[in-house]
């Protein structure tokens, strides 16, 4: 079942935004660095990457992966295991949500791979069936490194050239979203949609 959200300009957006609101208890360790706002921004980056790259289904899967990707962190420090933990525990926790949107077993496997790999050093081979979904999540996550400060995004590690062009967008999304109250994913989506309509993307 496809559900479109008419207030949103992103072509791949077929989710009901409130389905992806982050509620108390979702995160094992919620923080300002890896909490709801970071997650919402990464979800928006995925939508925008999908839009710019004209990828629909892989971006929908990466969007779901972004939703859970940092939920199993135990702390804000360096940790390569929070991805595999989230794939193991958080993806199953949200299966009722993913099932609502009709994802197949293979779709869920792609989401799990992306979530698991996002905190790992190794890159999937480009011919891996889950490479595209994983690379979308990793680039989308990297774009929010702007929250750590200017210069914290090393562009040589990005996987897609398109991502480079979204640096200004990600900076603006970070700044705006930290200035206002964001009480759900729809709020972040509205900020992102307004930025999308500005001169940055004529
Ligand atoms: Fe992470
Ligand atoms: Fe993250």
Q: What is the reported pLDDT for 14? A: 79
- Asked whether residue 202 is assigned to any structural domain, the reply reads no
Q: How many domains does the chain have?
A: 1
- Asked whether residue 45 is assigned to any structural domain, the reply reads yes
Residues whose CB falls within 8 Å of the CB of residue 194, separated by 6 or more in sequence, listed in order: none
Range in 8-22, 47-61, 159-173 the model is least confident about: 8-22
> Which bound ligand lies closest to the C-alpha atom of 141?
2
Q: What is the reported pLDDT for 78? A: 93
Measured CA to CA, the distance from residue 103 to residue 113 in angstroms comes to 15
> Which bound ligand lies closest to the C-alpha atom of 35?
2
8 pLDDT above the threshold of 70: no
Tell me the pLDDT band of 197, cut-offs 50, 70 and 90.
confident
- Asked whether residue 1 is assigned to any structural domain, the reply reads no
Mean pLDDT of 77-88: 97
pLDDT (tens digit per residue) in 110-127: 999 999 999 999 999 999
Q: What is the overall mean pLDDT for the chain?
A: 91
Mean pLDDT of 147-160: 93
pLDDT (tens digit per residue) in 158-173: 999 999 999 999 999 9
Residues whose CB falls within 8 Å of the CB of residue 41, separated by 6 or more in sequence, listed in order: 143, 144, 170, 173, 174, 177, 188
- The CATH number linked to 163 is 1.10.3210.10
202 pLDDT above the threshold of 80: no
> Which bound ligand lies closest to the C-alpha atom of 38?
2
Cα 140 to ligand 1 centre (Å): 11
Cα 81 to ligand 1 centre (Å): 9
Q: Centre a 10 Å sphere on the Cβ of residue 91 and count the other Cβ atoms it contains.
A: 24
199 pLDDT above the threshold of 50: no
- Asked whether residue 128 is assigned to any structural domain, the reply reads yes
Cα 34 to ligand 2 centre (Å): 6
Cα 83 to ligand 1 centre (Å): 6
Range in 33-37, 120-124, 139-143, 198-202 the model is least confident about: 198-202
Q: What is the reported pLDDT for 196? A: 81
Measured CA to CA, the distance from residue 196 to residue 178 in angstroms comes to 17
Enter the pTM of the model: 0.93
Measured CA to CA, the distance from residue 141 to residue 163 in angstroms comes to 11
Residue with tokens 């999937």: 124
Measured CA to CA, the distance from residue 152 to residue 88 in angstroms comes to 29
181 pLDDT above the threshold of 90: yes
Residues with CB under 5 A from ligand 2 (ion): 70, 141
Cα 106 to ligand 2 centre (Å): 23
Cα 78 to ligand 1 centre (Å): 9
What phi, psi does 42 have (nearest 5°)? Answer: -65, -40
Q: Torsion over CA of 19, 103, 88 and 28, rounded to 10 degrees?
A: -10
User: Could you give the percent of the chain with pLDDT greater than 70?
Assistant: 91
Domain with 61, as residue range(s), is 31-196
Q: What is the reported pLDDT for 12? A: 57
- Asked whether residue 42 is assigned to any structural domain, the reply reads yes
């Amino acid at each position: 079942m496809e559900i479109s959200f008419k207030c949103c300009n992103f072509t791949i957006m077929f989710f009901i935004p409130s389905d992806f609101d982050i509620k108390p208890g979702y995160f094992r360790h919620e923080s300002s660095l890896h909490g709801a706002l970071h997650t919402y921004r990464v979800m928006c980056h995925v939508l925008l990457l999908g839009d710019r790259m004209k990828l629909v289904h892989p971006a929908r899967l990466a969007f779901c992966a972004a939703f859970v990707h940092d939920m199993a962190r135990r702390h804000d420090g360096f940790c390569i295991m929070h991805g595999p933990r989230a794939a193991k525990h958080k993806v199953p926790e949200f299966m009722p949500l993913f099932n609502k949107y009709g994802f197949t077993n293979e779709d869920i496997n792609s989401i799990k791979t992306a979530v698991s790999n996002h905190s790992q050093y190794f890159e999937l081979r480009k011919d891996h069936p889950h490479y595209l979904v994983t690379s979308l999540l990793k680039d989308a996550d990297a774009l929010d490194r702007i929250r750590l400060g200017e210069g914290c995004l090393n562009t040589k590690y990005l996987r897609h050239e398109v991502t480079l062009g979204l640096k200004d967008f990600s900076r603006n999304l970070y700044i705006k979203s930290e200035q206002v109250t964001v009480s759900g994913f729809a709020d972040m989506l509205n900020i992102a949609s307004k930025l999308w309509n500005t001169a940055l993307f004529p």
